[in-house]
A and B are shown apart, each in its own frame.
Chain A
Amino acid sequence: MPEEKERMNQNSALHDLFMAILGGFAFLMLIFTPYIIGEPAANYPFYKGPEIFPIIILSIMTLSSLPAFYRLIRVKDKEKRWYLDGKGFPLLPLKILLTLIIVFLIGFIYIGLELACFLFFIAAMYLIGYRLWWKLILYPTIYTLFILVLFKYMLDIYFPEPLIFSLWGG
């Protein structure tokens, strides 16, 4: 059964596509390594310079992606199957991730840790299916307090002043 699943995943064109993307990226890096690292590398013999190791590993990366490139090109479009793991589109993780970026990360900079943490929790809990208003208030409040006590008061960490304050202050 696991072998069958493994074979199924190996056959997915999406896996080959990811491998090809990584391999393609490695190939580009390989070509441009001398330009990216630049002139200082020329001061050292190749065998002890900063380029030798990246060149070796990028070459291996490119070579190991060749079977994926081959499968992507050779296998006919009709025979190709595109799936991540057969468990459907990851809608909930995507929603939570976007909320994390928009509400928590950007919020962390603009409105500060406390508010960003509290709002993210309300939004995320709503997205995962919580609908009772008291739960939507209680858990984020407890968790935000826990984060505050742990980081601000126990570990004495300095968190940046919310940017929105300086915007208002001019």
Chain B
Amino acid sequence: MIEPSAFILGLRQALGFANIIALISGTIIGIIVGILPGMGPMVGMVILLPFSYYLPPTVALSLLLGIYCGGYFGGGIPAVLIRTPGVPSSIMTSLDGYPLTKKGEGQLALSATVVGSFSGGIISVLILILLAPIMAKVAVNFGPAEYFMVAVFGLVVMVMAHLGRIFQAILLTCLGLWFSTVGFDGQTMVVRFTFGTVMLRNGLEIAPMCLGFFGIGQSLLLLERQILETDDMSISLSSNNLDFSKVIYAFKHRLTLIKSGIIGTFVGILPGAGSILGSFLSYQEAKRSSRHPEKFGKGAPEGCMAAEAGNNAVPAGAMLPLLTLGIPGDPIAAILISIFIVNGIYPGPLLLIKEPELINSIYVSLFLVNIIGFILIIFFLRTFSMVVKFPNKLLAISIMVLCLVGLYTFNLRVFDMIVALVMGILGYLMLRMEWPFVTWVLGLVLGPIIEQRMRESLSLSRGNPAIFIQSPICITLLIASILVIVLPLLKKRTNKL
């Protein structure tokens, strides 16, 4: 499964000084952006994206993985202390965490949250290590038609996850797909949709688009929020570190932790499903199998554990389709794909064979991120929690400047800053209107994969679209896509009746 020599090389790379520094700083930044309501790991990652291009791939990935996982670690803290989830998926944690805090059991709630995050993260990495070679073996047999169908399935899942806003989701997905077509067409070298602009010939790059959309757009939204003036945290947290007896108590709920970690990982593997679903399903399962389901929602520590284990298992789960198929499972994984591509590494089934060192160093880094996050929160809980009191508006203008200057360093072009500003305005409007903007990101990232594989398939079949229903894998994916579309619609109809 794992070659010992490759594992040792990967381990050596992961334990290198630069890598450890990147992991620690990434996790600290991740926890901070996770704690700050309205920020989240996505914003943290896009701010550091331009810097990461200067780093070796393993160090850059460690930095971003630190933010990715650290964000979910941090998101649960304000959910428990002030009922304000730092990341949307921590909303399930607040259902039981906040009532526990109100009862004076803040330490127990936080211990359950941190232990949940840690266990979910570790379980999901183990599943990733176990499943990645199997999935890569299956994916080796994939032709362009299969890749096309997997990517389309990802988009279908993502769109259907926003059933209440389905037309907006379709529009935004297609807008992302269309943006990906701007510039030189790689297969024919024909220029598309540049409207005579030389700057657009290389296409719209993901960095300015995402930095604008998430960095500037989110900052503009942050300007409208009030500073969280609360003393709840000072009351709830009498010391800087967590009570170890409560941490040990939380670890005793092994079954809940393992089940939630597994659920979260599989939700992460599913392209487009996201951490909110992971957290929700884990919580529901913990409630269903509990001896005291009536306690859920009123202050059950298992609720916090399950929700956090479910959402922190998603990052490693999302790495599975990314590493083995080259298809990101969620928008944050889509950001990671750009790090690979900038360094000339193309994720796919051959990555496990060609770059065993890198793969193993990613596995070890994912382990370390969870351990570092766990230790940091246990010992510096109060320090981190106070971050929530930082003036939002000042933070927002600082992020805007950091985004724009950071972006300039990427290509040394003012044009990228203009693109980011335009995308920032668009992002702000989408965020305020609560449109499902994540579908736009996935469309943007999956666009080139879908187009290339579609045209390759059609070239092989001389234009016959039947190629998309010829192999068993394609048929399975087609049926799965149809079910994903039809089942929720049927359920909605039945509920109305």
Residues of A within 8 A of B (CB): 3, 6, 9-10, 14-15, 18-19, 22-23, 26, 29, 36-38, 40-41, 43-50, 52-54, 57-58, 60-61, 64-65, 67-68, 84-85, 87, 90, 92-93, 96-97, 100-101, 104-105, 108-109, 113, 117, 120-121, 124-125, 128-129, 139, 143, 147, 151, 155, 157-160
Q: Are A57 and B409 in contact (CB under 8 A)?
A: no
User: Which residues of B are found within 8 Å of A9, using beta-carbon distances?
Assistant: 433-434
Q: Are A40 and B188 in contact (CB under 8 A)?
A: yes
Determine if B290 is an interface residue (Cβ-Cβ < 8 Å).
no
- Determine the main DSSP class of B at the interface with A: helix
CA distance A107 to B394 in the complex (A): 20
Q: Are B405 and A61 in contact (CB under 8 A)?
A: no
The chain A residue sitting closest to B196, CB to CB, is A36
Q: Which of B51, B393, B405, B424 contacts A113 (CB 8 A)?
A: B405
Query: Chain B's nearest CB lies how many Å from the CB of A81?
Result: 14
Query: Chain B's nearest CB lies how many Å from the CB of A57?
Result: 5
Q: Are B401 and A117 in contact (CB under 8 A)?
A: yes
Q: Are B187 and A48 in contact (CB under 8 A)?
A: yes
Determine if B472 is an interface residue (Cβ-Cβ < 8 Å).
no
Residues of B within 8 A of A (CB): 51, 54, 164-165, 167-168, 170-171, 174-175, 177-178, 181, 185, 187-188, 190-193, 195, 220-221, 223-224, 393-394, 396-398, 400-402, 404-406, 408-409, 412, 414, 417-418, 421, 424-425, 428-429, 432-435, 450-451, 454-455, 458-459, 462-463
CA distance A37 to B184 in the complex (A): 10
Query: Chain A's nearest CB lies how many Å from the CB of B446?
Result: 11
Q: Are A19 and B187 in contact (CB under 8 A)?
A: no
User: Which residues of A are found within 8 Å of B188, using beta-carbon distances?
Assistant: 40-41, 43-44, 49-50
Known: A36-B195, A47-B458, A53-B181. A64 touches B409 (CB 8 A): no
Q: Are A85 and B433 in contact (CB under 8 A)?
A: yes
Q: Are A90 and B192 in contact (CB under 8 A)?
A: no
Q: Which of B54, B397, B402 contacts A124 (CB 8 A)?
A: B397
User: Which residues of A are found within 8 Å of B398, using beta-carbon distances?
Assistant: 143
What are 5 A-B residue pairs whose CB atoms fall within 8 Å in the complex? A36-B195, A37-B193, A47-B455, A60-B170, A109-B414
Known: A105-B417, A155-B409. A54 touches B193 (CB 8 A): yes
CA distance A36 to B178 in the complex (A): 14
Q: Which of B165, B408, B451 contacts A53 (CB 8 A)?
A: B451
Query: Chain B's nearest CB lies how many Å from the CB of A139?
Result: 7
User: Which residues of B are found within 8 Å of A44, using beta-carbon distances?
Assistant: 188
Query: Chain B's nearest CB lies how many Å from the CB of A9?
Result: 6
Q: Are B174 and A26 in contact (CB under 8 A)?
A: yes
Q: Are A6 and B223 in contact (CB under 8 A)?
A: no
Q: Which of B394, B401, B425, B429 contacts A104 (CB 8 A)?
A: B401
Q: Are B421 and A105 in contact (CB under 8 A)?
A: yes
Q: Are A67 and B167 in contact (CB under 8 A)?
A: yes
User: Which residues of B are found within 8 Å of A6, using beta-carbon distances?
Assistant: 164-165, 434
The chain B residue sitting closest to A40, CB to CB, is B190
Q: Are B414 and A64 in contact (CB under 8 A)?
A: no
Q: Are B174 and A19 in contact (CB under 8 A)?
A: no
Q: Are A84 and B170 in contact (CB under 8 A)?
A: no
Q: Are B224 and A120 in contact (CB under 8 A)?
A: no
Known: A47-B459, A60-B170, A64-B167. A92 touches B223 (CB 8 A): yes
CA distance A143 to B51 in the complex (A): 18
The chain B residue sitting closest to A19, CB to CB, is B171
